[in-house]
Amino acid sequence: MSIFFTVTYMMPSKKGFRKVVQDFFLPDAPAVRREIRKLGGTVVSINQRKQKWYNREFFGTAYKVGFLRSVSFQMGAGISPGRSLALVIQGETNPSKRRSLEPAMEVLNRGGSFLEAIQAIEMFDRGTLAILSAGEVVGSIREVINSAIENMEERGKTWKILLAAVGWLWFDISTGLSAVVGVQWTALPWLRENGISSKNPAEVEKFNHALDIAYIINSTLLGIAVLVIIFFAIISFSYLFFGRRERHIGSILLRKIGFLHRLMANTGFGETFYVVGRMLKGHVQFSEAVKVAIDSSGLGEIRAYWQGVYDNIRRGDTIDHAMRSDRLGRAEMLQIAAHQNSEQLAKVILNIAAERTEAARRNLRKVVSGAVVGTILYTVASVGNVIYVVAAQGSGLNASMSSMSSG
């Protein structure tokens, strides 16, 4: 794969040396250096040409799907992949998006391939690029474009559900936490300051004891909240930076929470099985489809499974033996073992993908339900603290009124 480099180098001239700044479209920096040496120049600096993140145009899923679908339509008319891509880019009427798509045109004009042009746009994620790369290898780009489209649409549905659930969970947790914080720094200090009007030492002692207990309980609730936040922050950080490894601190901690681990595993397997199934339907070889699954997943556990499958296939195992693992259920392995040809295998794998995705959604509903119940109990415990102290204050007030009446 070739990429763009902006190179500054010195060229000899009659007056000494002159500085030249030039773009090169080559595979890597050593290739650029060799090219400069052939020209007789001396390299000063080599920088891979990338658009700054704050200048990049946002491409939503709907736009990406429409973009690839347009390329597929052009190819359906017998036009080559590169030419189809160029026609779609030339038809873009939004000036900002057109500028962001320009690197692809530059790659095509310099003789780059369809995949190199797609990569130059930096529009698509690792999984989509892996699917398109497999299509270029086996020579069925149009088929894998359709697979990539369906994969993006299916993954978009899953992530919408996940994001909605995360949003709801965050609302629940923030509501419960705000109640505890309000009690700790507003309600309890106010009760401490105002106390009770009773002169009875026993009632005053009872009130102060109730207030001390309320502080202890509420501080414990705050401590629990802080520990939970730290726990999930460590998991999130670990998955963000080390998620593609099989074992890291986040994955180890997550295995301790069975329902969350099942949610992640079912989501990851659902996505990758869907990718493999769609590519098999597009007549891509099983080994190539597995390589795409390895590249497309961001979860180390899922990558490890598919890497094992790929290694088994290279050793000469049959597909059903290669896919056997304790990460799959017995029913799933029986389905895989029963296939007779590539078409049946594609159907089986797509069925497993659908079952895993549905299982992930069930797991997600359980997570949300559990979080709602936990938040309610958490909030009730905090507010109950205040009610307990107010009750002690009211008891003291009643005792004071009674003593005044009897007096």
DSSP 37-73: HHHT-EEEEEEE----GGGPPP--HHHHHHHHHHHHH
Q: How far apart are CA 98 and CA 387, in angstroms?
A: 62
Give me the mean pLDDT over the 349-362 stretch: 89
**Please, what is the Cα angle at 155 between 149 and 161, to 5 degrees?**
140
Q: How far apart are CA 108 and CA 80, in angstroms?
A: 12
Residue 130 has pLDDT above 90, yes or no: no
78-113 burial, b at 16+ Cβ within 10 Å, e below that, comes to eeebbebbbebbeebeeeebeebbebbbebbeeebe
Candidate from 212-216, 218-222, 384-388 with smallest mean pLDDT = 384-388
Q: What DSSP character marks residue 156?
A: H
Query: What residue spans define the domains of the chain?
Result: 3-49, 55-124, 143-407
**Please, what is the Cα angle at 79 between 76 and 85, to 5 degrees?**
95
Q: What DSSP character marks residue 139?
A: T
Q: Could you tell me the pTM of the whole model?
A: 0.66
Query: What does the pLDDT read at residue 397?
Result: 52
Q: How far apart are CA 398 and CA 400, in angstroms?
A: 5
Alpha helices, H only, 183-200: 188-194
Question: Given strand 42-48, what is the order of strands in its sheet?
Answer: 16-26, 3-13, 42-48
Architecture of domain 3-49: Roll (3.10)
Which backbone phi and psi does 246 adopt, to 5 degrees? Answer: -70, -40
Q: What is the overall mean pLDDT for the chain?
A: 80
**Token pair of 109 as six digits:** 């004009």
